[in-house]
Chain A
Amino acid sequence: MFRIDRRFLKSFDWLMLVLLLAVSGMALMNLYSASYPPSPWGMPPYIKQCYLFLMGMMGILFILCFDYKELHFWNYPFYIFIIILLLLVLVAGNSAGGAQRWINLGFFKLQPSELAKLMMVVTLASYYSRKEEELGYGIKEMVTPVLLTGLPFLLILKQPDLGTALMLGIIFVSMTVFAKVRWQTYAVGVILGSGAGVFAWFYLLRPYQKRRIETLLNPAKDPMGQGYQILQSKIAVGSGGISGKGYLEGTQGHLHFLPERHTDFAFSVWGEEQGFTGSLIFLITYFSMLFLGLYAAMTARDRFGVFLSFGVVMLIFWQAVINLLMILGFLPVVGIPLPLVSYGGSSLLTTLLALGILLNVRMRRFQIGQNIEKVKQK
């Protein structure tokens, strides 16, 4: 099991690793600028992010040692563990900005809702890969995945963390649609979903969350609040022009016009300083990684591998799209990070572990390990 077969090295997706390193490199470089000039107190964010990145890389290495199929077994313990963490956050978490999201681990603050995203991917992949349905899933088969998603969804919504909760929903929808459901199921889903949406608007959403959505519809209404953040972000990106203002030269970011400039709005700093050219290079690299992920799903050796890698790609893809559209002024400020780029340990670790699973699926596409096991058992 721990022996690394030479053929694994050969089938390892080196290009994916290069793209991952390239994106991470740009991200760390950007983080340095976004948190420049360094604050005299505490560890600078980019150093912290470096450590976490190395930790994540070790995590990838660790994941690669096991066949991803093991996740079929670890899935439920993992699920229960995350649910306990989410409950713990509500009971004893650190709060910031009116929301309880973190568990303080000393070295860094763990955000279980980030891990929950990956957990959701693994859980749903496991479920859908086990249950095969040629005509698509009916309503009865959907009960289990809906419940499995609903529990962490509500727990995260309670924190409240609308963005992450929404992410869980999007992952669920993406993977379910991908798994194919019957049209009746769609109909019921749409009706129930919109019903829940209306219910949520009137009874669940907090005023600030509603305001964010309203602001998107009419940004002029609140120029100094939510609309202000979006406006400043647009000014930052737009003022970058073709070639950008140059590294560390961005004025929007360094003069604090940009809110959350090293977390959710990190890409604004990149857009301002690197311009359209730099943004193009970054996005092509980033999306190549995603396409390569989809290719990994295409070449996976089994159904579980397909679902796992597809889920991981969707996890990263949707976060990136929502974050970028928010930065570019198309979506409200919902607090979804740009995976690998935004500062935040939990998000970085989760994304790296997810990519580790992806690399694992890709590496084991030829069913080498499985064959060996089969031979041995026979």
Chain B
Amino acid sequence: MMKWSHYKNLEELTEHDDAELDALKRRIVFAGLVVLFFMAIILGRLWFLQIYKGDEYRDRADNNRVRMREIVAPRGNILDSKGREMVTNRPSFNVVLVREDSNNVDELLKKLAVALDLDISELWEKLRDAEGKPRHIPVRLLEDVDWETLAYVENHNQEFPGIRVETIPTRVYHYENLAGHAIGYLGEISKKELAKRDLNIYTGGDLIGKSGLERLREPDLRGEKGSSSSEVNAKGFEQQLLKSEEPLPGNDIQLTLDAELQKVAEDLMAGGDKAGAVVAMEVKTGRMLVLASNPVLPLDQFVGGISHKNWNALLENPKHPLINKVVQAMYPPGSTYKMITAMAGLATGVINKDTVLYCPGHYYFGKRRYHCWKRGGHGAVNLKRAISESCDVYFYQVGLRVGVDRLAEYAGKFGLGHKSGIEMEHEKSGLTPTKDWKKKKYKRKWQEGETLSVAIGQGFNLATPLQICQMTATIANGGTQYRPQLIEKITDPDGNVLEQFEPVVVDELKGEKKFLRLIQDGMEEVVQGRRGTARKVRIKGLTIGGKTGTAQVVRLKQYKHLKEKDIPYKYRDHAWFTCYAPAEDPEIAVTVLVEHGLHGGSGAGPVARAMLEAYFSDRLQQAAEADKAKGE
């Protein structure tokens, strides 16, 4: 037993009046009421949160927990007619930020910028662009990063909550920028586009075809997005995959183009630093083998978004790489139009194959003197010579006799003056003038003198390189105008054919067919004849029919006396050459336009020649070997 000195003292201290103690205890009842009051508040609040608002909070908890992520579908591949892969996909890695998962975005970006040695203002700009978008949608900070960056971000993900690496399929161009205008490029979907599209299919940040087939065939190529639902924790780290739906790749498109031949065309144009177009068509089907527009559209620059610098360079390039010269540029057809005039003359009976007209080097009409390109004149010429030597005076007279309206009628039968309907964007219809047209357009009467210019392909006449090629093919195949075809077939990812495209006949010559032989003879003479304008195109072992043409850019006296190479580039004439081969049984029509290339025969001819050599290389080689054997 312990004894405390103060014990007695304590006794006294704690002895109290019972009445006072009772009053104190009565106050405990009041305290009990306070406790009860707060207990009621807490229970009431629990009822409110768990029962009254329970469902709402349950939804929020689920949203907290489950993060749905879209998986971008690989776009369909684009193949050439021989099944060669032109455009496919590869995985690319983007560094993205999910703002919802970061509690201090500024801090995070600063840290990231330091770690990866980036310009923070660029990151901020990306962030600003994403303002207004839902916070759970990833913001792309860096696109198509290298392995080093990828490894760094993946290994340090704990330090960057909210930063993630996203794998998305990106386009690969196996032939570099081959057929860039036909294929087209991709870009991030714009707000304007998004407003027009089905929001179940597209969301902000998606890539969408912006030009060419990528745009026109977007519904076929895009495929269907997949999705994955993962459980995430508050730091945004995925804990567990709950559900995953694989994306469905887009459908493959097989083109009619021949990638190798297209490459020959583009290389030739690029090699000579030529601006223009090379078009090749299968004569008996309308299938397009080559659709080359130079300078090419640099598709690779658009991957991951084109930079302002590159875009401005494209815009300011005097050779206009953004324009698809195959269908979007119109040129006076020049002498290539003379076949139309000839056809109209023959069909209307104003001339026949033996009609001889005299060319003194010029022709007087009204008070004006119209020159032939050959100042000395061709003398007496018949149709064959008129075509092969491209006598202007001959066709002035034929044109006058036929009249402009009937010229236009026959031009239409060969594909001029209207859109061909090829699957390319912003196709121009060209122009074949008529009297009505001039009245409507200029409110003025047609002057007969203007018919002279039209008859030799100048004046108001305009045509796209594709139209000239179509015209050539129609002459070569005996008068059937096919719609130029770019797509062979569309197949699903399993290889099942969804759509097979067949040749479509747009128009066909009837009784006039018999006159085509005469025109073909003239065109053969152009290349094969002794005095033909395109003798340089001749290939041993192959009979070619063709026609040169020069499209006047300006008719300025001040340049007349200059030597051709002294004329400023932009005032030089455009050079045409269009041809088909083999003449005995035509298979292919090739049209070459070289902007400011001066003369058809010298400026455009060699390109067409090389194209034919490439196309017929096997047969030419065989023939050469056979010759050799015979010789021995």
Contacts and interface: CB of A to CB of B under 8 A. Distances in A.
A241 B55 CA distance: 7
B629 interface: no
B14 A303 contact: yes
Contacts of A240: 50, 54
Contacts of B4: 73
Contacts of A272: 61
A176 to B, nearest CB: 12
A180 interface: yes
A271 to B, nearest CB: 7
Interface centre among B24, B38, B58, B235 (most CB of A within 10 A): B24
A73 B6 contact: yes
A321 interface: yes
A328 to B, nearest CB: 5
B403 to A, nearest CB: 79
B interface residue count range (under 10 / 10 to 19 / 20 to 34 / 35 or more): 35 or more
A366 interface: no
A73 B57 CA distance: 53
A311 to B, nearest CB: 11
Interface in A224-257: 224-225, 228, 232, 234-242, 251-252, 255-257
A310 B28 contact: yes
Contacts of B8: 377
A378 B213 CA distance: 114
Given A178-B27, A235-B61, A297-B25, A287 B54 contact: no
A306 B28 contact: yes
Interface stretch (A4-12, A274-282, A353-361): A274-282
Contacts of A314: 31
Contacts of A255: 64-65, 231-234, 239
A110 interface: no
A279 B50 contact: yes
A291 B14 contact: no
A278 to B, nearest CB: 10
A328 B42 contact: yes
A211 interface: no
Interface in B1-28: 1-2, 4, 6-8, 10-11, 13-17, 20-21, 24-25, 27-28
B353 to A, nearest CB: 89
B504 interface: no
A129 interface: yes
A15 interface: no
Contacts of B45: 325, 328-330
A96 interface: no
Given A252-B61, A257-B64, A328-B45, A242 B51 contact: yes
B355 interface: no
Interface string B73-86: 00000000000000
Interface in A16-54: none
Contact of B31 (A225, A236, A302, A310): A310
B13 A130 contact: yes
A328 B49 contact: yes
Given A1-B2, A251-B61, A283-B43, A238 B54 contact: yes
Nearest to B99: A224
A294 interface: yes
B445 interface: no
Contact of B14 (A69, A224, A239, A298): A69
B65 A276 contact: no
A207 to B, nearest CB: 16
B559 interface: no
A288 B36 CA distance: 10
B505 interface: no
A97 to B, nearest CB: 16
Contacts of A109: none
Interface residues of A, number: 60
B275 to A, nearest CB: 56
A132 interface: yes
Interface string B27-52: 11001100100110111011101110
Interface SS majority for chain A: helix
A237 B42 CA distance: 12
Given A256-B234, A280-B43, A306-B24, A235 B31 contact: no
Nearest to A67: B10
B64 A251 contact: yes
B43 A241 contact: no
B61 A256 contact: no
A78 interface: no
Contacts of B42: 283, 321, 324-325, 328
Contacts of B232: 255
A129 B14 contact: yes
Interface string A119-141: 00000000001101010000000
Interface in A195-236: 224-225, 228, 232, 234-236
A186 interface: no
Contacts of B233: 255-257
Given A1-B1, A321-B38, A291 B32 contact: yes
Interface centre among A129, A321, A329 (most CB of B within 10 A): A321
B35 A271 contact: no
B504 to A, nearest CB: 60
A156 interface: no
A276 B21 contact: no
A166 B394 CA distance: 111
A303 B64 contact: no
Nearest to A70: B4
Interface in B492-535: none
A178 B35 CA distance: 14
A328 B46 contact: yes
Contacts of B50: 237-238, 240-242, 271, 275-276, 279
Contacts of A280: 43, 46
Interface in A292-331: 294, 297-298, 302-304, 306, 310, 313-314, 317, 321, 324-325, 328-330
A158 interface: no
B348 interface: no
Interface centre among B47, B50, B233 (most CB of A within 10 A): B50
B94 to A, nearest CB: 24
B56 interface: yes
Contacts of A271: 46, 49-50
A235 B21 CA distance: 47
Nearest to A255: B233
Contacts of A251: 61-62, 64-65, 231
A329 B60 CA distance: 16
B107 to A, nearest CB: 12
B140 to A, nearest CB: 22
A82 interface: no
A225 B104 CA distance: 9
Contact of B61 (A239, A279, A329): A239
A290 interface: yes
A302 B25 CA distance: 10
Interface string B413-429: 00000000000000000
Interface string B235-270: 100010000000000000000000000000000000
Given A132-B16, A224-B103, A241 B46 contact: no
15 contacts: A1-B2, A73-B6, A129-B13, A224-B103, A224-B104, A234-B49, A235-B64, A239-B62, A251-B62, A256-B233, A280-B43, A283-B43, A306-B21, A321-B38, A330-B45
Given A236-B61, A252-B64, A304-B14, 5 more contacts: A224-B103, A237-B57, A238-B50, A272-B61, A325-B41
Q: Which 6 residue pairs across A and B have the least CB separation, nearest first? A: A238-B57, A239-B61, A224-B103, A241-B54, A238-B49, A255-B233
